[in-house]
């Protein structure tokens, strides 16, 4: 018998535990690596303006379903989710690379559609497609995008800069993308059991649009710059507010208090959540894929933050000992877990 090999299931560690496990022993060797693993993007300094780099992969069946994802939207979204990570560093995206793995199920025309979406994003966000890689896959479509951007060194914003007393803010509104996905999933189930039925998308163009065609908040980075404002910390909201607040607090070694009543949720999202018998705040905390920005601002910057369009102040950064808490509309306090928080649970 050979020597016994240990086998640990990756689920034991979870996504973030796994990344930590695989990467925590790696120390960057180059002074040009200002920031390596652990933020929304890495920061490289070769003299002049630093470069920020981020990469994300989208997999068929995991991140998107070809049943209800038009290829053009998919191309657009695969670029946007990467640009969002550049924004989270308070940087402006400039270039992307795109790598794809395709099965023989995809025709040239289908891939042209995918690239139409990619080029639309390039035009809308003023970024250049500068390379990539093309491979075949046995099953399913894989799209991997790397985005590069730049910012003045002193304006680059990390997850680690939040301090007790800072105000906690988000751009836009939350939860809509998850509810858009619920509508698409519901219609897919109905269609699968009865292919004759036309999908009923309930004219929910906002919710479905947030899922299929999200936008990166480069406009907010420009607004910050124009207002002379630099957040103390920032992260993009890809996995849901709860997970991102936890990341930000962990990296900044602080706690936070989020007020349920201040979390921005659009009326359409509130109503659709109730239709699905979901709690709207749970959709905002755990839904994900909103691609808004969560950031903190020093108290002295409060007057500037108030002048910025579409910003909600949702709470405050607290000392670490106070933990990461949600204050409900009924004035109750609950710890926020990475899975979010649900009414009726943990009370």
Contacting positions for Mg ion (CB under 5 A): 40, 85, 236
Q: Interacting stretch for ligand ADP, rule CB under 6 A, among 37-45, 223-231, 260-268, 328-336?
A: 37-45
Tokens of 258: 């989020």
Tokens of 11: 């689920």
By CB under 6 A, the residues from 168 to 207 that bind ligand ADP are none
Distance CA 173, CA 223 (A): 17
Distance in Å, CB of 293 to ligand ADP, minimum: 12
Distance in Å, CB of 186 to ligand ADP, minimum: 27
By CB under 6 A, the residues from 46 to 75 that bind ligand ADP are 56
Instruction: Categorise residue 106: left if φ over 0, alpha if ψ from -120 to 50, beta otherwise.
Output: beta
Residue 165 found at the interface with ligand ADP (CB under 6 A): no
Q: Interacting stretch for ligand ADP, rule CB under 6 A, among 34-42, 144-152, 264-272, 319-327?
A: 34-42
Residue 268 found at the interface with ligand ADP (CB under 6 A): no
Q: In what order do the strands lie in the sheet with 292-297?
A: 233-237, 292-297, 167-171, 311-318, 255-259, 324-327, 333-335
Distance in Å, CB of 347 to Mg ion, minimum: 31
Distance in Å, CB of 84 to Mg ion, minimum: 7
Distance in Å, CB of 89 to Mg ion, minimum: 9
Interaction partner, residue 166 (Mg ion, ligand ADP, none; CB < 5-8 Å by kind): none
Distance in Å, CB of 248 to ligand ADP, minimum: 11
Interaction partner, residue 37 (Mg ion, ligand ADP, none; CB < 5-8 Å by kind): ligand ADP
CB 296 within 8 A of CB 233: yes
Tokens of 328: 């409900």
Distance in Å, CB of 13 to ligand ADP, minimum: 12
Bridge pairing between strands 167-171 and 92-102: unpaired
Among 10, 37, 222, 302, binds ligand ADP (CB under 6 A): 37
What string marks each residue from 70 to 89 as x (binds ligand ADP by CB under 6 A) or -?
---------------x----
- Which residue number, 10 or 22, has a Cβ lying nearer to ligand ADP? 22
- Which residue number, 23 or 192, has a Cβ lying nearer to ligand ADP? 23
CB 148 within 8 A of CB 53: yes
How many residues can be counted in the chain? 347
Among 17, 23, 62, 332, binds ligand ADP (CB under 6 A): 23
- Which residue number, 268 or 289, has a Cβ lying nearer to ligand ADP? 289
Residue 38 found at the interface with ligand ADP (CB under 6 A): yes
Residues contacting ligand ADP: total by CB under 6 A: 10
Residue 19 found at the interface with ligand ADP (CB under 6 A): yes
Residue 251 found at the interface with ligand ADP (CB under 6 A): no
Interaction partner, residue 222 (ligand ADP, Mg ion, none; CB < 5-8 Å by kind): none
Distance in Å, CB of 88 to Mg ion, minimum: 5
Residues that bind ligand ADP (CB under 6 A): 19, 22-23, 37-40, 56, 85, 238
């Amino acid at each position: 018998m050979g020597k016994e090999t240990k086998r640990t299931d990756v689920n034991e560690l979870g996504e973030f535990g796994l990344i930590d496990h695989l990467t925590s022993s790696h120390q960057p060797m180059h002074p040009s690596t200002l920031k390596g693993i652990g933020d929304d993007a890495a920061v490289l300094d070769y003299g002049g303006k630093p470069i920020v780099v981020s990469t994300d992969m989208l997999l068929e069946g995991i991140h998107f379903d070809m049943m209800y994802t038009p290829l053009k939207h998919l191309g657009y979204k695969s670029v946007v989710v990467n640009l969002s990570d550049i924004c989270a560093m308070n940087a402006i995206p400039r270039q992307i690379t795109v790598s794809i793995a395709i099965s023989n199920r995809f025709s040239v025309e289908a891939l042209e559609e995918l690239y139409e979406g990619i080029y639309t994003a390039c035009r809308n966000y003023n970024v250049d497609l500068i390379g990539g890689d093309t491979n075949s896959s046995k099953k399913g479509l894989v799209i991997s995008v790397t985005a590069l951007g730049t910012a003045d060194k002193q304006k680059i914003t990390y997850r680690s800069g939040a301090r007790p007393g800072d105000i906690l803010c988000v751009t836009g509104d939350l939860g809509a993308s998850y509810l858009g996905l619920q509508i698409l999933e519901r219609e897919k189930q109905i269609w699968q059991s009865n292919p004759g039925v036309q999908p009923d998308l309930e004219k929910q163009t906002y919710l479905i649009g947030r899922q299929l065609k999200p936008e990166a908040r480069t406009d907010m980075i420009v607004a910050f710059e124009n207002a002379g404002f630099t957040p103390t910390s920032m992260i993009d909201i890809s996995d849901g507010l709860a997970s991102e607040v936890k990341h930000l607090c962990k990296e900044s070694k602080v706690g936070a208090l989020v007020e349920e009543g201040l979390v921005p949720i659009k009326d359409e999202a509130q109503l659709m959540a109730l239709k699905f018998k979901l709690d709207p705040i749970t959709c905002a905390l755990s839904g994900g894929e909103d691609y808004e920005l969560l950031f903190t601002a020093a108290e002295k910057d409060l007057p500037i933050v108030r002048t910025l369009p579409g910003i909600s102040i949702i709470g405050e950064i607290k000392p670490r000992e106070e933990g990461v808490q949600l204050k409900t509309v009924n004035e109750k306090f609950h710890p926020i877990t990475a899975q979010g928080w649900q009414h009726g649970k943990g009370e």
